[in-house]
C-alpha cells in the first residue's frame, strides 16, 4: 500500500499551500473564513466562471480556478455542498474523497473546512479527513516503473478548522478506522501466490502489536477439533489451511463478546467443479470477508473501542488436484451433521459452517455476524449496490440497515424460511451444499443457518460489494475494504460500554 496523503490540522488563519479549497452551496456564496482566505475578487471570479462552466454547487462537484490577482496561492478549487436543505445529511467522507480527487496527487493544499450558514463540527472535519485518506490509497506494491508509481504523487493537505484541538482528537478515531479499511484493501488486492492461508494468518498475527490476542490453528489442530467440512475444501491444495481467532478485550472481563466471522478462500478455482477461465483471476478476492474481519479488529483495537470483540476467519485455498474433494463426497461438519458435496465450487458455506459452529460453541457471543463473498447470485439480485443481509434477528437487521445508511456501506435484507431450507435436503446425507440456480443466495444462507443455534446471527453476502469495486469518491481500489466502516459503526452505536 502506499500512503499518498500527508495531513495536518490547523486553524482558519492562513493559506500556506499552492491550492486553496473552499466549499459552497448552490447559491455559490463563500463562507466567512473562505472569503477571508481566498482574497478580494474571489467571489466575483467564482460567479463569472461558474456561469461560464455551468458549475451549480451540486454536492461533490468541483470547479478549478486560477487564483485572483495578487493572491499567495495558485489555484482556487471550489467544491459543491449541494442544496442547504440537505446539509444535515451531507456525507463528509464523500466530500473529503471528492476534494482529494479534484486536487490530484503531487499537490499541496489548504482545505477550508467551513461552510456558509452552518458549523462543521470536529467529527465532521474528521470524516473529511477520512475521505481524503481513503481516496488517496493506491495499491502499487508490484509496479516497478517509477512512471506508474509517481503519476499521482503524494498529496499534502492542511485541513483548516474552527477547533483544531477537538478535530485532532476526532481525527485519531478516523485514522484508526482508515487504517482498518486500508489493511482490508491491501489483503483483498494482494495476488493469490503471495497471500495464501499461512501468509494471511501471519498478517493477522500482526494485530498483536495493537493488543489483539491472536491464535492460529493449523491443520493438526483443526483435525483434532473436527472441522472436516473446512478441511475438505483445502485438501486439494498444496497450501495448508488455517483458522485464525482474534480477540480484542476492550471491555470488562464479564462483558459478553460480539463475534465476526469471515470467509477466507485465498483463491477459488471451484475445485473439481472447476470455474470457467475467463475472469478467474478475480477469485483472489474470495477472502474479502476475512479481510474485513481483520480490518475491523484493527480499527477497534487502534481506537481502543470499549467492547470485547472476537474475529474468526477460515482460511483455505480451493484447488483441484488428485487429493481434491469430489462431487458426491459426504463429509461431517463440526456440528455433527453430514453434508453431501454436490458442487465443490460451493465451498464458502463449508468453511463457514465449521467456523460458525466453533465460534458460537466456544465464545457464546451476544451475536455473530459473518461476511462472505458467497454467491454470484447475490450480484444477480442486488448488483454492487447492497450486500445481501440474511438474519434471524429483526434487531440486528434494523441496526445493520441503519449503520449501512450512515456509512454508505448499505445492506438489503433477504428472506429465510422453511421452504428454502427444504431445498438443501439431500438424498444421501443431512443436507447438500448446493441446490442449483434458483434462490442461490438464499439456499446458501439456509445452509449457514443450519450451523447456527439460537444466537442472534447475520450473514452478509458481499460477493457484489467486497471485491472488483466500482469507482467512488472514496475508493479507487479493486478491493474496497467493504464492511469495516459498517461494522465499526454498528459496534460504536450499540455495543460499547
Ligand atoms: N466465491 C464464489 C462466489 C463469487 C462469485 C464471489 C462471483 C464473487 C464473485 C463462490 O464460492 C461460488 O463459487 N459460488 C457458486 C455457488 C454455486 C456453485 C452453488 C456460485 O455463485 O456460482
Ligand atoms: Mn466457489
Ligand atoms: Zn468461493
Q: Tens of pLDDT along 450-465?
A: 999 999 999 999 999 9
Alpha-carbon distance of 310 to 327, in angstroms, equals 34
403 CA to centre of ligand 1 in angstroms = 26
Q: Which atom of ligand 1 is nearest to the CA of 343?
A: 18
- For the segment 181-226, what is each residue's pLDDT rounded down to a tens digit? 999 999 999 999 999 999 999 999 999 999 999 999 999 999 999 9
The residues assigned a catalytic role are 275, 349
Average pLDDT over residues 297-325: 99
163 CA to centre of ligand 3 in angstroms = 47
Alpha-carbon distance of 486 to 227, in angstroms, equals 29
Q: Is 386 exposed, middle or buried (0-12, 13-18, 19+ CB in 10 A)?
A: buried
For ligand 2, an ion, list residues with CB under 5 A.
Answer: 268, 345, 347
Average pLDDT over residues 106-127: 95
Mutate to test the pocket of ligand 1, among 463, 465, 470 (most ligand atoms within 8 A of CB): 463
Question: How confident is the model at residue 89, as a pLDDT?
Answer: 85
* Residue 40 pLDDT grade (very low, low, confident, very high; cuts 50, 70, 90): confident
Q: Is the pLDDT of residue 151 over 60?
A: no
Contact 408, 91 (CB under 8 A): yes
For residue 316, the ligand closest to its alpha carbon is: 3
Q: Is the pLDDT of residue 408 over 80?
A: yes
Query: Any idea of the CA torsion for 244, 249, 253, 255, to the nearest 10 degrees?
Result: -90
**Does the reported pTM lie above 0.85?**
yes
381 CA to centre of ligand 1 in angstroms = 14
Q: Is the pLDDT of residue 150 over 60?
A: no
For residue 463, the ligand closest to its alpha carbon is: 1
Q: Which atom of ligand 1 is nearest to the CA of 286?
A: 1
445 CA to centre of ligand 3 in angstroms = 14
Average pLDDT over residues 152-172: 95
From the list 394, 367, 353, 370, the residue with the least C-alpha distance to 257 is: 367
Mutate to test the pocket of ligand 1, among 314, 346, 347 (most ligand atoms within 8 A of CB): 346
263 CA to centre of ligand 2 in angstroms = 11
Tell me which residues have their CB closer than 6 angstroms to ligand 1.
Answer: 268, 286, 343, 345-348, 373, 375-377, 434, 440, 463
Here the cell at position 99 is 476534494
Q: Is the pLDDT of residue 153 over 90?
A: no
Amino acid at each position: 500500500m502506499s500512503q499518498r496523503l500527508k495531513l495536518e490540522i490547523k486553524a482558519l488563519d492562513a493559506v500556506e499551500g499552492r491550492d486553496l479549497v473552499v466549499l459552497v452551496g448552490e447559491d455559490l456564496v463563500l463562507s466567512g473564513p473562505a472569503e477571508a482566505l481566498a482574497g478580494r475578487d474571489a467571489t466575483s471570479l467564482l460567479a463569472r466562471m461558474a456561469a461560464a462552466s455551468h458549475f451549480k454547487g451540486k454536492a461533490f462537484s468541483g470547479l478549478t480556478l486560477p487564483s485572483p490577482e495578487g493572491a499567495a496561492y495558485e489555484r482556487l478549487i471550489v467544491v459543491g455542498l449541494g442544496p442547504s436543505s440537505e446539509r444535515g445529511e451531507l456525507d463528509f467522507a464523500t466530500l473529503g474523497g471528492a476534494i482529494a480527487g479534484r486536487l490530484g496527487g503531487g499537490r499541496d493544499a489548504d482545505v477550508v473546512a467551513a461552510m456558509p450558514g452552518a458549523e462543521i463540527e470536529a467529527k465532521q472535519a474528521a470524516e473529511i479527513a477520512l475521505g481524503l485518506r481513503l481516496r488517496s490509497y493506491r495499491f502499487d506494491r508490484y509496479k516497478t516503473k517509477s512512471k506508474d508509481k509517481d503519476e499521482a504523487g503524494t498529496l499534502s493537505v492542511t485541513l483548516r478548522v474552527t477547533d483544531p484541538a477537538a478535530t485532532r482528537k476526532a481525527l485519531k478515531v478516523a485514522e484508526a478506522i482508515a487504517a482498518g479499511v486500508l489493511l482490508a484493501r491491501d489483503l483483498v488486492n494482494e495476488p493469490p501466490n503471495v497471500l495464501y492461508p499461512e501468509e494471511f494468518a501471519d498478517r493477522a498475527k500482526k494485530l498483536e502489536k495493537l493488543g489483539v490476542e491472536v491464535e492460529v490453528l493449523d491443520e493438526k489442530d483443526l483435525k483434532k477439533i473436527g472441522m472436516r467440512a473446512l478441511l475438505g475444501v483445502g485438501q486439494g491444495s498444496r497450501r495448508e489451511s488455517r483458522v485464525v481467532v482474534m480477540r480484542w478485550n476492550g471491555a470488562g472481563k464479564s462483558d459478553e463478546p460480539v463475534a465476526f466471522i469471515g470467509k477466507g478462500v485465498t483463491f477459488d478455482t471451484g475445485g473439481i467443479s472447476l470455474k470457467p477461465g475467463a475472469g478467474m483471476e478475480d477469485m483472489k478476492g474470495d477472502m474479502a470477508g476475512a479481510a474485513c474481519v481483520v480490518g475491523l479488529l484493527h480499527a477497534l483495537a487502534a481506537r481502543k473501542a470499549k467492547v470485547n470483540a472476537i474475529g474468526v476467519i477460515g482460511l483455505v485455498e480451493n484447488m483441484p488436484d488428485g487429493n481434491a474433494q469430489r462431487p458426491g463426497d459426504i463429509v461431517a461438519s463440526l456440528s455433527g451433521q453430514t453434508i453431501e458435496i454436490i458442487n465443490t465450487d460451493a465451498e464458502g458455506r463449508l468453511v463457514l459452517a465449521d467456523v460458525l459452529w466453533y465460534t458460537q460453541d466456544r465464545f457464546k457471543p451476544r451475536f455473530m455476524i459473518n461476511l462472505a463473498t458467497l454467491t454470484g447470485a447475490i450480484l444477480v439480485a442486488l448488483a454492487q449496490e447492497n450486500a445481501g443481509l440474511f438474519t434471524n434477528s429483526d434487531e440486528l437487521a434494523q441496526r445493520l440497515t441503519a449503520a449501512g445508511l450512515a456509512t454508505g456501506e448499505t445492506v438489503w435484507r433477504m428472506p429465510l424460511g422453511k421452504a428454502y431450507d427444504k431445498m438443501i435436503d439431500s438424498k444421501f446425507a443431512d443436507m447438500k451444499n448446493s441446490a442449483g440456480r434458483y434462490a442461490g443466495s438464499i439456499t446458501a444462507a439456509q445452509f449457514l443457518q443450519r450451523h447456527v443455534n439460537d444466537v442472534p446471527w447475520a450473514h452478509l453476502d458481499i460477493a457484489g460489494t467486497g471485491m472488483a469495486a466500482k469507482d467512488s469518491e472514496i475508493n479507487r481500489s479493486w478491493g474496497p475494504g467493504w464492511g469495516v466502516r459498517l461494522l465499526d459503526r454498528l459496534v460504536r452505536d450499540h455495543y460499547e460500554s
